[in-house]
Amino acid sequence: MGAMSGPYVVRGSVLLPEAELMWRFSRSSGPGGQHVNTSDSQVELRFDLARTEALPPVWKERALRRLAGRLVDGVVSVRASEHRSQWRNREAAAVRLAALLAEATAPPPRPRRPTRIPRGINERRLREKKQRSETKRGRSGRDWS
């Protein structure tokens, strides 16, 4: 195959810098026959989030806060071993890392503006509840004798 299908876009014009990605390969478990015992197809991709200059400072801080549980010394790592070829696992790991960073750097959602329920709707709901309870009360066979 040709060159990797990078650069990997985090969001907008921000890319994952190829130079800051640290790759590690190891033997993968799973299908593959005899060949699997000799090939290092599992991929571990590490990215130093704490020291990178590729992300805008605001994004970086947001990502560090949101991914705090996943970080080891400021480094985030992603594993891929679902494919038999190292190449496709590299692709999968890079795409996963880009998606993870995109989610972690996304701006917080707009705060919800509380709205009032119109009085008519509330009254209708209560009327229907009362009707329903009447229907159910009528079902109890207490005074049938």
What integer pLDDT is reported at residue 6 of this predicted model? Answer: 57
Q: What does pTM read for this prediction? A: 0.63
As a whole-number percent, the residues of the chain with pLDDT over 70 amount to: 83
Determine the average pLDDT of the residues in 94-110.
Answer: 86
Contact call for residues 55 and 68 (beta carbons, < 8 A): no
